[in-house]
Amino acid sequence: MRRLLASLTALALVSCTTQITGPAPLSANVHGAVEIPTDDGLVLGGDLALPEGTERVGAVVLMHGCSGLPTRSVTVWQPLLLSWGYATLVVDSFTARGLRAVCANALRLTGAERIPDAYGALAFLARHPRIDSGQVMLMGFSHGGIATLGSATTWARRRYAPMEGPVFRGFFPFYPYCNAIVPEMLEGLAGPVRVHIGELDDWTPARSCQDLGALARSMGFDMQVTVYPGARHGFDAVGLPPSLYQRNVDNAAACTPRLASMMGPILNLFELMSCIKKGATVGHDPEATERARANVRRELEALRG
């Protein structure tokens, strides 16, 4: 009997130990190429850059667009954020999924399906001794902007952030697609959202994001939308010409997808398929880029408190 009780006690202790033991902390020297486990079983590639020094710093997770990595927007923002004193973690959402790009096949991988990638990156950073886990921001561009906007919902935080664990301090979607009607978007936002988008964007229309922002504010949530006059999709992508028409990309700017939930299914799929057209315009706008940089730096500092 005593032996049985001893065995049960030992089993209980092992069980308790198993429940409270999480992923091991990372070394302070971890940087460069890293592996990011996600809630859906993938292990994504990432690139972690740290500012000089030994003090704890805030961080920005960067989510690329539909063309994958490398991409102009991420390439420009990563060193800039680093120079402002933020660690950066660039997440590769495509390689582990066997993808190179999805611009010409918008339904191959939706932005919402990358929400676990964002929260996997957050959990990874929370293990790093150089990172202040209470000061991690999420920034995404186009397809990555959709992932960022979806990650900003209270649904995403409940689903992918453990209780009492770290949460994103703020969300920075650049030219996201705001046309879709998604029930979870009406449940609320998990933190401040700062959208940046061009007035002449013919791929992800600014008006839809303005309407979504107005709706969120009417519900008491902190969502601001900055529209840059005369700017196109990818206005911050240094190296692009002022206007470049991409003929083969899927364009749902005139469509209104209706989803049963964040992860689907799409309720009006056949209507959407007939609505999607080919072609969209991108272009770098130096003035809008400089304004966006100044705005983002100010917003980051304000959110840090």
Is pTM beyond 0.85? Reply is yes
Residue spans of the domains in the chain: they are 26-304
Q: Where are the alpha helices (DSSP H) in the chain?
A: 2-20, 72-83, 115-126, 143-151, 154-160, 206-218, 269-275, 286-304
Weakly modelled stretches of the chain, pLDDT under 50:
1-21
The predicted pLDDT at position 18 comes to 36
| Residue type, position 163, single letter | M
State the DSSP code for 251. Answer: E
Q: How far lies 206's CA from each of 148, 197, 258, in Å?
A: 16, 6, 19
The predicted pLDDT at position 31 comes to 92
The predicted pLDDT at position 293 comes to 98
The predicted pLDDT at position 267 comes to 97
State the DSSP code for 38. Answer: -
CATH architecture, domain 26-304:
3-Layer(aba) Sandwich (3.40)
The predicted pLDDT at position 260 comes to 97
Tokens of residue 228, six digits: 């840059």
Tens of pLDDT, residues 92-120: 999 999 999 999 999 999 999 999 999 99
Inter-helix orientation angle 115-126/143-151, to 10°: 70
The predicted pLDDT at position 22 comes to 61
As a whole number of Å, the end-to-end CA separation of the chain is: 59
The predicted pLDDT at position 1 comes to 44
